Structure 1
Amino acid sequence: MDDLTSRRIPPPFGQTVRFLPGDLPRREASTSDVVRRFLAGFFLVLCVAAVAWPFLPRRYEAAGSVVLRPTDREGQSDSALSLRQPLDDNAVQSEMDLVSATSVLDAVIARHAIADDPEFARPPLLARLGWAPDPGAPTQGQLREAVRRHLIVARDRRSYTVRVGFWSADPAKAEAIAQTLVSTYLSDQVDRKRRAADALFQWLELRVGLIRARQQASAQAVEDYMARSGLVDRGDQISLDAQLVTLSQEAALARARAIELTTRAGTLAALQAANGLDGAPEVLASTTIQALKQSLSNALGRTVVMSPEQRAITEQIAAESNRIVRSASAEAENWSRREAALQGQIRAIRATLTERQRATMVLERLQQEAASDRTALADALTRMKGQTASGGAQRTDVEVVAHPETPREPAFPSLPLYALGSLLAAGLAGAAMNGRRLFARARRFLEF
């Protein structure tokens, strides 16, 4: 068995290993060779890393900080109120998404000529190497996507503070575009609020026009109805009330008089039927009958036998008595007809008053509608005036607490991390230079 075989095959268990005189120099030579190989791979990787460091692409980040504020007028001027204003995560995320809105990106692209910047409008690598056709000038959507990939929009913990910035290979470009991004975002927010205010004002103006037309129509309806129903003449109502009072009094008097005369006529008719009319008060009070009776008494005093003169006087007395009865009946009928006529007039006046009352109820409803329209018009005018006053004082809902500054050091690559990674890669490269020996030792270890 030669020395090489004795070194590769492990000795049996319990047997002492004996080294030959030439084994130690060989082991020392083998160890120095391992160290030399490791150092060669280690320093080779370090040299390559040191040479590649200046050529690595840099990423400079310029970012500012903004604080989201509430949208009401009080919160815009009171920072303490803005901090107490509850904004949920969805509202904060939506406001962060507005930083990359199309209008903001288009303004950044137009101001900084992004379409002509090689950093954003560079063709693909295969096209630059000639392995693929040139796609031509990038579209506006591709430019937006390229700019969107360079945006920095991050929320600071769970507060209302948001970092807004831009990264680029050129620190001055990163700072300039970040400044433009923040200013454009603020102006775009004001423009959006102004457009919303203008739209609201136009809607209010249209609503005021509609309400004014409705109010004018309701007011005209009140006037037309007052003229058509006669309610515009308030003296007519007073006259009808006075007439109703007067006619009611006269009707009551006529009814009492008719009852009295009807009773008297009935009494006279009954006395006449019972041949007792001579004792009636009306007959006794009649001067004509008294004169006739006096003439009859004189005629009776002259002769005993009834003469034609006496008979004529008696007939005149009977005729006068009948006239008194008929006169009482006629007067009773006259008063009854007068009462009926007065009652008819009263009913007509009451019907007129009823119609006026109904018309008054309709008029009150129309007046209420007109009053409601006037109130709605006043409220709409007040709101439109308030919107006009606040339309020119639109402010942003964001407060800039830190403006973007030109970065002095690149955010990528980081020198400490690059050095640590280079050392780790150098160690792995040195170990790879002695891969066979390490693999052989690991196999012998596993076999043992």
Structure 2
Amino acid sequence: MSGAIGSNQDVDIDLGRLASAVWERRRTVGGIVLLAAGAALAATTMMTPLYKGETRILIESRSPNLSGAPAPAAANDPVLDSLNITSQAELLRSADLIRQVVSDLKLEETEEFSPQAQSLLPNPLVLLGLKQDPLDLAPEDRVIKEFREKLQVYAVENSRVIAVEFSSEDPKLAASVPNRMAEVYLKLQSGAKLDTNSEVTKWLEPEIASLTEKVRQAEAKVAEYRASAGLFQTTDSSSFTAQQLNNISTELARVRAERANAEARAENVRSAIEAGRDSDMLAEVVGSQVIQRLRETEANVQAQVAEQSIVLLDNHPRLKGLRAQLAGIRQQISNETRKILGSLDSEAEVSRIRERQLMQQLNELKAASAKAGGEEVGLRALEREATAQRQLLETYLARYREAASRADPNAAPADARIISSAYEPSEPYFPKVVPIVVIAALASLILSAIAIMVAALFSGRALRPVGVPVNTAEELVPHQASKPAPAMPRPVDPVDAAATAAFLKAEEQLALSASLPKDEAFTTEGVANTLLRHGVPCAFVFSPSGDTGSTATVMLAREVAERDKNVILLDLTGSGCPTRLMAYDMELPGITDLLAGETAFGDAIHSDRLSEAHIIPRGNADAESAMRAADRLRIIIDALVDAYDLVLVECGAAEVEGLARLGAQPKSEIVLSVPGGEDDEIGTLAKQLADAGYKNLLIMSGGVASRRRAA
């Protein structure tokens, strides 16, 4: 190991040598395992066996429903909620209950709870002062403390069952203690109910006597007030005055109906008489017996007149007499009709007089009723007080009867019952000889193997140099140290053949331009220096040579990024050359998507594949649709200027007239990217830009650059 580290050679762990080191010492490991297993076996056989008994108690509502009211739902019973179950478990661990069980079973007399009988030698922890001497405690407290250490009470999860476990050296005691605890617990629960019922009856007896007297006084006040105010009642819901008002109202309605009927009949007879109509059409006249007899006589006389008119002349005395008799009968009918009319008028007048009398009585009763209404307010207040006292008395009586009926111990069972009693265990639960021996053997095996592996690692035997085969590590270390490490293959950028060719061509042209005079051209580095030195925020790159110039612009952006400047390139070319060279995917959203409103501003910005520069690709939207919103380019460029140190707008082989539409201002910095271009060609382009008003011109043609500004 020292040799490997001293030579600064990277090493690795040889798993095979680790396994070999353990296998070489297998006899030692086997001896340790057997020794540990034997020690565990001896220790477990020397331990005092402990037995455990368990009793389970189900918490449930067992109170009989003697009131006749519907029993509460089990989900709403407070006896069955989780907090009550936990409280009952704590009650089983209470000192009073434990003290009762200890007294009943006389545990203080057993050897298990006597500290003198447990060990002949003093406890070393007691001698060192790390543990309290049990003999310093009172005998009762000592037994309770020892009892609690052997007791375990817990609520069974997702149930209303409480388990009581007790461990002891005596199997009979392990079973009798939890059973006795359950019995004492149920007696305490039942006794608590009896005490509660007894206290309730003692409290209710004087309260009921007091309430009885209050109810009697309240009802006496109601009767006295009713008699003094004359508020007599005919029924439970109606008073005497109200009954009279009801009767008079009914009678008044009847009299008014009779008056209206009599007036209508009299008016009908009067109209018939005044109009000279035949009275035979009137029901009042036709129904008169006198009229009926007169009509019969009239009919007979008419018959005689008709009979005599046949044989006698009109002036015959016999005929004249019959006619005179007929006229007299008709006069009697008319007089009788008028008598009937007078009778109807009299009947209507009697109804009107009766109506006035009833109205007078009604008004008097209304005044009396209004006065009685004010007096009934006080009466209702007294009645409410008497009713409240009576209801409270009835409630107390019902509770008293219910509590008195539960005074018998059999009528107040505990809200729990034993569902599983502890039985005398036949096997101890501790110690488990076989599991302890197996665990000790496995632990010794694992620990001894780990110790051997650690020793092999620190000795260096389980280490080997990195990159050397496992079986020939020691032999090949010197040779490997002298061999140079193989060069890692350079990853191939996912750029298409055309873009790669353009990129190599631009590099070649720029390399050739290094031999030009210093006043001929700016290199990419020189353009970057100039732009950064003058603090140019935005530069429009004009590449009339197409993809070759666009490739140089990409190199310019990467040059600026290498100087720890935030730079972004905006691809406005038709071929999308900067996008192919810088973006991971040609399908990324870009400037056309942003202008067409198909993507968000942040989603159009992407990182360069080979530098810290950023790019806004050409995009995938329709170019014509995007250029309809070309006016937004100026807003986009202004936003980029606020966020980046330098914004490069690659315009490609655009015409000079189109720069203004792309957002370039006369004061903007214009870069002519013409790698390997001729001086005449550069001069012609510079003159065209100067004529268009763009005076700040930088020419980037490779090599050592010269700056040309048009006047």
Whichever structure has more helix as a proportion of its residues is: 1
**CA-CA distance at 1:180 after TM superposition:** 0.6
Instruction: Report the counterpart of residue 156 of structure 1 in structure 2.
Output: 156
Specify which of 96, 101, 121 is matched with residue 108 of structure 1: 101
Instruction: Report the counterpart of residue 97 of structure 1 in structure 2.
Output: 90
Specify which of 394, 399, 412 is matched with residue 383 of structure 1: 399
**CA-CA distance at 1:356 after TM superposition:** 11
**Share of identical aligned residues, percent?**
19
1:154 is paired with a residue of what secondary structure? strand
Q: Distance in 2 between matches of 1:134 and 1:403?
A: 32
1:391 is paired with a residue of what secondary structure? coil
Q: Distance in 2 between matches of 1:82 and 1:368?
A: 37
Q: Distance in 2 between matches of 1:371 and 1:35?
A: 97
Q: State yes or no: 1:47 paired with 2:38.
A: yes
Superposition pairs for residues 16-31 of structure 1, below 5 Å? none
Q: Distance in 2 between matches of 1:224 and 1:141?
A: 70
Distance change in 2, residues 1:195/1:47 (3 Å): same
Specify which of 393, 417, 420 is matched with residue 435 of structure 2: 417
Pairwise CA RMSD of aligned residues?
Answer: 4.6
1:303-336 Cα deviation digits (max 9, x unpaired): xxxxxxxxxxxxxxxxxxxxxxxxxxxxxxxxxx
Corresponding letter in the other structure for 1:96: A
**CA-CA distance at 1:181 after TM superposition:** 0.8
Q: State yes or no: 1:402 paired with 2:402.
A: no
Specify which of 425, 433, 439 is matched with residue 455 of structure 2: 439
Checking the alignment, whether the CA contact within 8 Å between 1:63 and 1:152 is kept in structure 2 is no
TM-score, normalised by the number of residues in structure 1: 0.53
**CA-CA distance at 1:369 after TM superposition:** 3.8
Checking the alignment, whether the CA contact within 8 Å between 1:66 and 1:161 is kept in structure 2 is yes
Distance change in 2, residues 1:9/1:195 (3 Å): same
2:38 is paired with a residue of what secondary structure? helix
**CA-CA distance at 1:388 after TM superposition:** 1.0
Instruction: Report the counterpart of residue 564 of structure 2 in structure 1.
Output: none
Specify which of 123, 134, 144 is matched with residue 125 of structure 1: 123
2:136 is paired with a residue of what secondary structure? coil
Instruction: Report the counterpart of residue 47 of structure 2 in structure 1.
Output: 56
Please, which runs of 5 or more residues in structure 1 have no aligned partner? 1-7, 11-29, 76-80, 232-353
2:154 is paired with a residue of what secondary structure? strand
1:253-275 Cα deviation digits (max 9, x unpaired): xxxxxxxxxxxxxxxxxxxxxxx
Higher relative contact order, chain-length normalized (CA < 8 Å, sep 6+): 1
**CA-CA distance at 1:72 after TM superposition:** 4.7
Instruction: Report the counterpart of residue 199 of structure 2 in structure 1.
Output: 199
Corresponding letter in the other structure for 1:208: I
1:420 is paired with a residue of what secondary structure? helix
Q: Distance in 2 between matches of 1:180 and 1:38?
A: 51
Checking the alignment, whether the CA contact within 8 Å between 1:127 and 1:134 is kept in structure 2 is no
Distance change in 2, residues 1:139/1:213 (3 Å): farther
**CA-CA distance at 1:31 after TM superposition:** 10
**CA-CA distance at 1:187 after TM superposition:** 1.0
**CA-CA distance at 1:70 after TM superposition:** 2.6
Instruction: Report the counterpart of residue 61 of structure 2 in structure 1.
Output: 70
Corresponding letter in the other structure for 1:92: I
Checking the alignment, whether the CA contact within 8 Å between 1:109 and 1:115 is kept in structure 2 is yes
Checking the alignment, whether the CA contact within 8 Å between 1:63 and 1:178 is kept in structure 2 is yes
Q: Distance in 1 between matches of 2:175 and 2:229?
A: 81
Q: Distance in 2 between matches of 1:85 and 1:357?
A: 48
Instruction: Report the counterpart of residue 119 of structure 2 in structure 1.
Output: none
Q: Distance in 1 between matches of 2:396 and 2:22?
A: 96
Q: Distance in 2 between matches of 1:424 and 1:356?
A: 102
Please, which runs of 5 or more residues in structure 2 have no aligned partner? 5-20, 67-72, 117-121, 231-369, 465-711
Corresponding letter in the other structure for 1:409: E
Instruction: Report the counterpart of residue 330 of structure 1 in structure 2.
Output: none
1:326-351 Cα deviation digits (max 9, x unpaired): xxxxxxxxxxxxxxxxxxxxxxxxxx
Distance change in 2, residues 1:185/1:9 (3 Å): same
**CA-CA distance at 1:126 after TM superposition:** 4.3
Checking the alignment, whether the CA contact within 8 Å between 1:38 and 1:431 is kept in structure 2 is yes
Distance change in 2, residues 1:203/1:145 (3 Å): farther
1:73 is paired with a residue of what secondary structure? coil
2:61 is paired with a residue of what secondary structure? coil
Instruction: Report the counterpart of residue 665 of structure 2 in structure 1.
Output: none
Q: Distance in 1 between matches of 2:374 and 2:455?
A: 115
2:203 is paired with a residue of what secondary structure? helix
Distance change in 2, residues 1:83/1:119 (3 Å): farther
**CA-CA distance at 1:183 after TM superposition:** 0.7
Q: Distance in 1 between matches of 2:424 and 2:25?
A: 49
Corresponding letter in the other structure for 1:410: P
Checking the alignment, whether the CA contact within 8 Å between 2:22 and 2:452 is kept in structure 1 is no
2:427 is paired with a residue of what secondary structure? coil
Instruction: Report the counterpart of residue 173 of structure 1 in structure 2.
Output: 173
Instruction: Report the counterpart of residue 684 of structure 2 in structure 1.
Output: none
**CA-CA distance at 1:167 after TM superposition:** 1.6
1:349-400 Cα deviation digits (max 9, x unpaired): xxxxx99999998677556644543443233222211221133201121132
**CA-CA distance at 1:185 after TM superposition:** 1.1
Distance change in 2, residues 1:47/1:355 (3 Å): closer
TM-score, normalised by the number of residues in structure 2: 0.35
1:163-201 Cα deviation digits (max 9, x unpaired): 223122221111111111111111111112222222222
2:406 is paired with a residue of what secondary structure? helix
Aligned residues: 298
Distance change in 2, residues 1:139/1:356 (3 Å): farther
Checking the alignment, whether the CA contact within 8 Å between 1:46 and 1:423 is kept in structure 2 is yes
